[in-house]
Amino acid sequence: MRSRVPTLAPLLLLALAMLAMGGCGSRAKRWLVFDKGPMTEPVAVDVDSFRGPVRIVADPSIPNVVIRARLRAFNDVRDDRGNVVYPYGDEQTLDLIDVVAEMDSQDGRHVLRVNTSTRFAYPDDQWVGLWINVPRVDGVRVRTRDGNVDLVNIRGAVTVIADHGDVIVRTEKPIVQPVDINAVNGSIEYRVREDSAGVIDVEAVNGRADFRGYKGAANIRQRGPSQYVATLGEGDNPVSLRASNGNIRVVITDNPVPVGYFKTHTFMFTKKP
């Protein structure tokens, strides 16, 4: 029997040579940190991201509103034949990404607005990972075109639109206001305590819809494996969960925040700058 090791060696050498020459393109990285100072009042968070994961964490043990943004981009863009069609160096590429974080006031409450955009001709080769820490969050709106969304210990009304990515809400705070989550290509997990309320309308068009936890806490009307309506508590606030290509899971539990590393790991949240 002939060994296949010698036949793999030339391929390995070729791959190493391509990497040394930059044939696959290397990645440029940069951290930006915005410290908006101490905030004792609840803050609504409004995020519009052109591409990248978003994590919003409400943590009363921290005094300041802090936004960490991790910028990533290819050094160059190549066509199908490997030819460089848009050459840029590390700093030039990242300089085309704009991140704006501003504190605003609307209807008598504080609003943190975070916007990411790019002037790069090939936006699919860039993204911005956002990690937003706020002492208290009262209301969230997130729009991201490609990236996971993780909302931790938030409260208030919630609106999330994620074109490509999973969405998870995991909070110990009671959710008693409207929730509207739409994941076009991704799954949704909605994890709350029994003291939350609402009419939960779930539809996973090309997936499965599950309800887990205290089934006695909700009146469930099943319409099929991908649809159901559950009334939680005495509230009539609408909770709309829609996934076009993905699964949806509602979990009612005493400890909704811990879910494990793999579920919440979104490329960039293992190290702080």
Give the start-to-end residue ranges of the domains of the chain.
25-145, 148-260
List, as one string, the DSSP characters of 184-244.
EES-EEEEE-TT--EEEEEEETTS-EEEEE-GGGEEEEEEETTEEEEEETT---EEEEEES
Across residues 17-33, what is the average pLDDT? 59
pLDDT of residue 169: 97
pLDDT surpassing 50 at residue 270: no
Q: How far is CA 67 from CA 21, 96, 132, 229, in A?
A: 36, 19, 5, 36
Average pLDDT (51-63) is: 96
Mean per-residue pLDDT for 101-117?
A: 94
Of the pLDDT bands very low, low, confident and very high (cuts 50, 70, 90), residue 92 is: confident
Share of the chain above pLDDT 70, in %: 78
The C-alpha atoms of residue 131 and residue 223 are separated, in whole angstroms, by 37
Beta bridge partners, 143, equal 48, 161
pLDDT band at 73 (very low <50, low <70, confident <90, very high): confident
Rounded to whole angstroms, the Cα distance separating 247 from 244 reads 9
Which amino acid is it at 129?
G
- The answer to whether 84 touches 76, Cβ cutoff 8 Å, is yes
Give the pLDDT confidence score for residue 213 in this predicted structure: 78
pLDDT at 131 over 90: yes
Cβ–Cβ under 8 Å, residues 77 and 84: yes
Sign of CA dihedral 38, 40, 46, 49: positive
Write down the pTM of the prediction: 0.84
Q: How confident is the model at residue 210 (pLDDT cuts 50, 70, 90)?
A: very high
Asked whether the predicted pLDDT for residue 167 surpasses 60, the reply is yes
Q: Is the Cβ–Cβ distance between 158 and 179 less than 8 Å? A: yes
